[in-house]
Each structure stands twice: as C-alpha cells, then as structure tokens.
C-alpha cells in the first residue's frame, strides 16, 4: 500500500511539537528502550538514528557506541534543532525524508529508527532504501505501528462524523509480506500491544498533539471545539472506558530487526 503523504504538513506538526515533545513521549521512550535492548554491542562505525526526533535515543546510541559516527536524520528542522542542544559527540545532522534516503549504498553499519516508518509513503520502498544503505552484515532496528493502533479513537470519531480523524496503519500480514520480499540475510519481527489510559477525550487528543502525531493524511487536522461535538465524542468513546472510568487507547507495536 502506498499513500501520498503531505510531508510538509507532517514536518509542520512535528516541528510545532518539538519544544514539548519530551514531556509527552513516555510511550515513545518505552518502545524505543525496548528496541534498543535488541541492538547487539558491536563496533559500528557509521550509525544513523532515522527520524531521530529530539535526539533522546541519538544520545543513547552515541553513549552506547562511542566509536561510531552518528547521523541524526529527521524531516523536521525544529526537531533537529532540539538534538543540537544535546551537544552529542561525533554527530552529523541531516534533514530529509525516509522515502528518499540520501545515504551512499553499502555505507551504514547500524540504522536505528523508533516509531518513524509509519510515516512513510511506501514502506516496501523505504525498507528497500534502508537495506541498500546498509553495508553487508549491517543491521537495521525499527519500530512501527500496526493496524488496530488508536482503534478506540477511530471508532469514537465514527459516531461523530464521516471524516478520517486518525491515520490507518499497515496490518501485520502486510508488513510480513513486505519483509518477505526484502531478501536480506535475516529478519526478526516481534509484536506487542500497549494500552494507555486517559481521563477524558481532551487528554487523548492532547497526548497525540503533544508529540506532533496529530496530522491526519488526506484530511485537514481539526481542533475539537464546541461542547456538543466534545460530548458526542465522549459518548462515542464510552464502550472503551474501563472500570475506573478511564479511556483506553491501544497501540499495536511492531519491532523489526534486519541483518543484510
Ligand atoms: C514519533 S516521533 C519519534 C522520534 C524519535 N525517534 C523518538 O523515538 O523519540 C517521529 C519522528 O519522525 C519524524 N518523521 C516523520 N516523517 C518523516 C519522514 N518522512 N522522514 C523523516 N523523518 C520523519 C518526525 O519529524 C518525528 O521527529
């Protein structure tokens, strides 16, 4: 499945969130930590943090692999500015798009990418470019989101209007099929369900906006306003309320390891 994502709009959303991203990114932290535990300790010389965001994991990668030269790569200039404030050693910065990777073929030892490739136009093509960028024996560690992610919010909005208010994510089967076509030495895929809870729908929306993940492809992002609409959304969310009265929000996470 390929889609035509408005990259400028995605960059703008993430750029707006760049200053406060770290306050809202606990889930991203937890998933990124999990991903990092699968990266074996080796002497990587060229490392890329693909879609580095504010550089939380760039800093960790630089610390864990001090011999390597790290490239922090992101679509959003404002995100890269946040990384610069961290003063990481031996780092270069590159603004760019995961769908048009600028790296020389067979040049990278390790690509780490936490919760980014779900923003790709075409995952098959993006993974092909990642593979091409890796040296023989090079490793890619990626996390992404699967179908079923944010399904409660999707269902709740459907009771309000017919517009898309959440993005669609690829199914596990689709990602498995893409990886099968990739022809690399080894692929490991793991999945995990993570469930978050919020007091009300405003908090749910704020959490997505807080990390800049509120751009909905092919739909003008709307702020929810108006008591009536909010009430409707709250009623639509009722089936996804737990015993404590908290709203459930599910993330279906997929961890991918590629060895070229
Ligand atoms: C959810 S954040 C994750 C950031 C970081 N990896 C982390 O774990 O904190 C997604 C990041 O991907 C970047 N991004 C989105 N679409 C991109 C694209 N097409 N090319 C490169 N980066 C992109 C965003 O600017 C944002 O910094």
Query: Is 79 near ligand 1, meaning CB less than 6 Å away?
Result: yes
Q: How far is the CA of 136 from the centre of ligand 1 (A)?
A: 26
Query: Is 75 near ligand 1, meaning CB less than 6 Å away?
Result: yes
Between residues 14 and 260, the one the model is more confident about: 260
Q: Would residue 15 count as lying in a domain?
A: yes
Please provide the average confidence, as pLDDT, over all residues in the chain: 93
**pLDDT over 60 (residue 222):** no
Lowest mean pLDDT, pick from 60-74, 80-94, 155-169, 214-228: 214-228
Pocket test for ligand 1, best of 12, 14, 99 (most atoms within 8 A of CB): 14
Q: Would residue 201 count as lying in a domain?
A: no
The single residue listed with the structure tokens 């596990």 is: 172
Q: Would residue 223 count as lying in a domain?
A: no
Q: How far is the CA of 21 from the centre of ligand 1 (A)?
A: 11
Lowest mean pLDDT, pick from 45-59, 165-179, 206-220, 230-244: 206-220
Residue 124 to residue 2: CA distance in whole angstroms: 9
Beta bridge partners of 111: 48, 140
Stretch 219-224: mean pLDDT: 57
Residue 204 backbone dihedrals phi, psi, to 5 degrees: -60, -50
Strand ranges of the sheet holding 247-259, from the earlier edge strand across to the other edge = 91-95, 69-74, 46-50, 108-114, 134-145, 247-259, 186-198
Domain count, the chain: 1
**pLDDT over 80 (residue 125):** yes
Residue 76 to residue 126: CA distance in whole angstroms: 18
Between residues 210 and 133, the one the model is more confident about: 133
Q: How far is the CA of 73 from the centre of ligand 1 (A)?
A: 9
| Packing angle, helices 201-210 and 227-237, rounded to 10 | 100
CATH of the domain at 144: 3.40.50.150
Query: Is 251 near ligand 1, meaning CB less than 6 Å away?
Result: no
**Length of the chain, in residues:** 260
Q: What is the pLDDT of residue 219?
A: 59
Q: Would residue 22 count as lying in a domain?
A: yes
Range of the domain at 66: 7-148+167-196+251-259
Q: What percent of the chain has pLDDT over 90?
A: 77
Residue 258 to residue 190: CA distance in whole angstroms: 12
**Residue 12 is encoded by which pair of tokens?**
């703008």
Q: How far is the CA of 229 from the centre of ligand 1 (A)?
A: 31
Q: State the pLDDT confidence band at 169, using cuts at 50, 70 and 90.
A: very high
Query: Is 115 near ligand 1, meaning CB less than 6 Å away?
Result: yes
Between residues 3 and 202, the one the model is more confident about: 202
Q: What is the pLDDT of residue 223?
A: 58
Q: What is the pLDDT of residue 220?
A: 55
Q: Would residue 216 count as lying in a domain?
A: no
**pLDDT over 80 (residue 183):** yes
């Amino acid at each position: 499945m390929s889609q035509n994502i408005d990259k400028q709009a995605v960059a703008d959303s993430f750029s707006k969130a760049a200053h406060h991203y770290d306050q809202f990114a606990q889930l991203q932290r937890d998933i990124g930590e999990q991903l990092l535990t699968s990266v074996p300790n080796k002497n990587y010389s060229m490392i890329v943090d693909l879609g580095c965001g504010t550089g939380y994991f760039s800093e960790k990668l630089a610390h864990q692999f001090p011999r390597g030269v790290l490239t922090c790569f992101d679509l959003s200039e404002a995100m890269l500015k946040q990384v610069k404030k961290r003063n990481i050693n031996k780092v270069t910065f590159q603004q760019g798009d995961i769908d048009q990777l600028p790296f020389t073929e067979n040049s990278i030892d390790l690509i780490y990418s936490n919760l980014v490739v779900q923003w790709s136009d075409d995952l098959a093509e993006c993974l092909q470019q990642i593979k091409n960028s890796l040296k023989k024996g090079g490793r890619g560690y990626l996390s992404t989101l699967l179908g079923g992610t944010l399904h409660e919010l999707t269902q709740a909005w459907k009771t309000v209007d017919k517009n898309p208010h959440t993005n669609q994510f690829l199914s596990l089967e689709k990602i498995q099929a893409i990886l099968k076509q990739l022809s690399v030495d080894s692929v490991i895929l793991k999945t995990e369900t993570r469930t978050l809870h919020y007091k009300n729908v405003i908090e749910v929306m704020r959490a997505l906006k807080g990390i800049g993940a509120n751009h909905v492809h092919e739909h003008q992002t709307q702020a929810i306003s108006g008591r009536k609409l909010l009430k409707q959304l709250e009623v639509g969310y009722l089936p996804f309320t737990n015993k404590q009265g908290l709203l459930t929000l599910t993330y279906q996470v997929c961890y991918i390891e590629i060895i070229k």
